[in-house]
Homo-oligomer: A and B are copies of this chain.
Amino acid sequence: MLDANRVRVLVEVAHAGSVSAAAERMSFSAPAVSQQLTKLERELGCALLERGRGGVRLTAAGRELLAYGERVMGDLRDAEAAVRAAAGEAPRRLALGAFASAGKTLVPSALAAFRRAHPDVRLALSDVEPPDGYGLVTSGDLDLLITHRYPGVPLPAAAGLHRERILVDPLLLVVPEGHPAGEPGTPRLEDLAGEEWICGAPGISNRVALESAAQEAGVRITVAHETRDYEVMLALIRAGVGVGLIPRTILGSAPKEGWAARPLSGGAGGAGRRALAREIYVVHRRRPWRPVPEMVEMLKGAARRARERGAERFG
């Protein structure tokens, strides 16, 4: 039968993106990892990854094995946790992955609350940009993933995982102070075709969302400045160089001067269409052990408070 330790090496390499990075994470030397991969490939009689500059890429067979391997690793981790729990030991570590802007707004208060409730559990937060991270949850590298979906971006399949939406976070049109679209009323995308837009690079979620909304509305927009960081985007808007879409939860903790935000009536219809919003989800394995559901509850609480604060301030 396939050696599980070798499969683990493949999983780590796939997650890390390169042999050397995986070796680093496992505290091995790079040749050790390379040798194990070679043996695994010889054992299976087919190539699992294509070596190339800047790392490796999985072949079809490699992706197939990765999917199973992630489950194996997750089950092994769960097994250990279950046995220790049965023996009365409490888990000591909870690994959390979140996209950058969640890490700045939603997560801190939940983390603080969790820390108060479980001072003995070590928390580990890492940046994971959607749509990545599902594999890390399956393999147990993450116990909990906070991810999002922007309109126009498909939600990845969550095979074998539990996914739950915790927040609908409206995307507000943000314009420099004094800009006509900032006055009371609901601006339409069609009226903003001439603006200089600020958003992420092609492929970044908010760029995709903006472009698909523009397409639906039948307008062409021009992106003048590219940044994926909403703080930077807001600074640019305050400087008067353009307009952008920013999630409401982000605006709640932003400086209050120099800009105005309005809900955007996206698409052609106006009244009939749902407002533009990103959805925020938590993802974890089935049968989560005890602290995970608790953390989910705390995140839901943080999401609820953020929603209320935002609704109060931005209507």
Question: Which one, B7, B76, B78, contacts A79 given CB within 8 A?
Answer: B7
Are A5 and B7 in contact (CB-based, < 8 A)?
no
In the bound complex, CA of A198 to CA of B212 (Å): 75
Judge whether A122 is part of the interface by a CB distance below 8 angstroms.
no
Copies of this chain: 2
Interface locus among A64-72, A124-132, A185-193: A64-72
A87 contacts B45, C-beta separation under 8 Å = yes
Q: Is the C-beta of A162 less than 8 angstroms from some C-beta in chain B?
A: no
Q: Do A82 and B60 touch across chains, with their CB atoms under 8 A apart?
A: no
Task: Tell me if A164 counts as interface (CB < 8 A to partner B).
Answer: no
Q: Is A23 an interface residue, CB under 8 A from the partner? A: no
Q: A1-B77, A4-B4, A5-B3 are in contact. Are A68 and B84 (CB under 8 A)?
A: no
Residues of B within 8 A of A5 (CB): 3-5
Contact partner, A82, options B8, B64, B84, Cβ 8 Å:
B64
- CB of A102, distance to nearest CB on chain B (Å): 27
A79 near B83: Cβ-Cβ < 8 Å = no
Contact present for B76 and A4 (CB under 8 Å): yes
Chain B residues with CB under 8 Å of A65's CB are 79, 82-83
A-side interface size class: 20 to 34
CA distance A3 to B4 in the complex (A): 8
- Are A4 and B87 interface neighbours, CB within 8 A? no
Could you tell me if B87 and A44 are in contact, using CB atoms closer than 8 angstroms?
A: yes
A73 within 8 A of B: yes
Are B87 and A61 touching (Cβ within 8 A)? yes
A4-B72 in contact (CB<8A): yes
Is there a chain B Cβ closer than 8 Å to A86's Cβ? yes
Known A-B contacts A2-B76, A7-B76, A72-B75; A61 and B46 likewise in contact (beta carbons under 8 Å): no
Residue positions of A touching B, CB distance < 8 A: 1-5, 7-8, 44-46, 48, 60-61, 64-65, 68-69, 71-73, 75-80, 82-84, 86-87, 89
- 9 contacts across the A-B interface (CB closer than 8 A): A1-B77, A3-B4, A4-B8, A7-B76, A44-B83, A48-B83, A64-B83, A65-B83, A75-B75
